[in-house]
Amino acid sequence: AQSVTQLDSQVPVFEEAPVELRCNYSSSVSVYLFWYVQYPNQGLQLLLKYLSGSTLVKGINGFEAEFNKSQTSFHLRKPSVHISDTAEYFCAVSDDGTDKLIFGTGTRLQVFP
């Protein structure tokens, strides 16, 4: 079965600094990869997705992620964070042909002034 590992439970960073949130998944023939953001007491909002094609995916709010098949990774990056980026970030994977999303345990990004 698929699994997703988010190695960092918390990432503190100062405003305007770059950030990378790490995500690794268990290998599969074909996967779809997603990053979601969750603000306090809210549902999840899709940041970006990788289905096929270019390995560099650009999403909303200035975020991007790179699919690396050899390293089975899908790390999320932003060159300059804002206070408003403080939230919980979840990486998720689904197998080609299945309906289910498997979520990582989440990374709490906290941006300090």
Contact positions vs another protein (CB under 8 A): 32, 34, 36, 41-46, 49, 51, 90, 96-97, 99-101, 103-106
Distance of closest approach, residue 72 Cβ to another protein, in angstroms: 19
Query: 36 is written with which tokens?
Result: 């979601």
CA-wise closest residue to 104 among 83, 78, 76, 80: 76
Q: CB-wise, 51 or 56, nearer to another protein? A: 51
Query: 10 is written with which tokens?
Result: 């918390």
Q: CB-wise, 29 or 113, nearer to another protein? A: 29
Distance of closest approach, residue 61 Cβ to another protein, in angstroms: 14
Q: CB-wise, 36 or 74, nearer to another protein? A: 36
Alpha-carbon span 29 to 13, nearest angstrom: 35
Vertex 39, ends 37 and 44: CA angle to 5°? 45
Q: CB-wise, 87 or 106, nearer to another protein? A: 106
Distance of closest approach, residue 104 Cβ to another protein, in angstroms: 6
Distance of closest approach, residue 59 Cβ to another protein, in angstroms: 11
Alpha-carbon span 101 to 45, nearest angstrom: 14
Dmax over CA atoms of the chain, in Å, equals: 44
